[in-house]
Amino acid sequence: MATNFDNYFKSAFTVDNVIFGFDEGDLKVLLIKRGEEPHIGEWALPGYFVKTDEDLDAAAKRVLSELTGLTNVYLEQVHTFGSVNRHAFGRVITISYFSLIKIDNYTIQPSSIALQAQWHTVNGLQHLAFDHDAILGSCLQRLKWLVKTRPVGFELLPPKFTLTELQHLYEAILRCPLDKRNFRKKILSMNLLVDCDETQEGVAHRPAKLYKFDRKRYNKLVDQGFNFELKETPTKKKNTVELSS
């Protein structure tokens, strides 16, 4: 199909994918070291050009699966960045996505993109190539909002997990401590977890119960428009507002 837009400015398009994982109590993001100019040697978000006949979501999925081999992953478009000078070699507009993966499932795929892929702890990350700091920032903000609004945390955990692991995940994303009893009460009251009738093994303390996420029930509640909001409880801090002045 020859386009009729020959007189209009056209731009190259990429997708950049903020791939989140959770390991050792920390929120991680998968970055690749750039092997070419510009920004050679700097860490960057995995991304690639969108193809002629490819939908945007499909491009994001492709980037993810080329890198990790995973499909069927939580993926969401976040924001589009298109400043005139964001790429030194010409105008490139990028559509940012984030995805949530279970880090255990991740095995590096031999591919051109993935030559230098590595997980990085999100907190305290160095400067990234291009405007990827801003992209990561906006995805983090979205994830923070999402986790308070929908029970997506499960996407980042192995199929069976303990409530403490889940709490640590929430704490890592929200970056605030939560009260154990209140957290459990709230999570369990949603009835989204199924007790596996199993316990942790190989730990040097009382083993915790393992739970699974009940996706069917979740989908049902979503259909009913149920509100999953989870309010944070930054222990020992009042959230009062100055009404004076």
The contact set with DNA (CB under 7 A) reads 162-164, 179-182, 184-186, 199, 203-209, 229, 231-233, 235-239
Which residues sit opposite 76 in a β-bridge? Answer: 98
d(CA 103, CA 30): 10
d(CA 91, CA 210): 50
Nearer to DNA, 159 or 207 (CB): 207
For 143, phi then psi, to 5°, come to -65, -40
Cα 119 to chain center, whole Å? 13
DSSP letters, 60-94, are HHHHHHHHH---S-EEEEEEEE--TTSSTTS-EEE
Give the range of 46-54, 102-110, 122-130, 203-211 binding a copy of itself by CB under 8 A.
Answer: 46-54
Q: Does 3 bind a copy of itself (CB under 8 A)?
A: yes
Q: Does 204 bind a copy of itself (CB under 8 A)?
A: no
Q: Does 115 bind a copy of itself (CB under 8 A)?
A: no
Q: Please report how many Cα atoms fall inside a 13 Å half-sphere around the Cα of residue 58, on the Cβ side.
A: 6
Residue type, 130: F
Query: What does the per-residue mask of binding to a copy of itself show for 59-98, with x meaning CB under 8 A?
Result: ------------------x-xxxxxx----xxxxx-x---
d(CA 43, CA 55): 26
Query: Shortest approach of DNA to residue 85 CB, angstroms?
Result: 43
| Among positions 107, 227, 236, 238, the unique one binding a copy of itself when judged by CB under 8 A | 227
Nearer to a copy of itself, 107 or 239 (CB): 239
Nearer to a copy of itself, 53 or 201 (CB): 53
Q: Does 12 bind a copy of itself (CB under 8 A)?
A: yes
Query: Residue 72 binds which one of DNA, a copy of itself, none, with CB within 5 to 8 A depending on kind?
Result: none
Nearer to DNA, 127 or 238 (CB): 238
Place of tokens 């109590």: 25
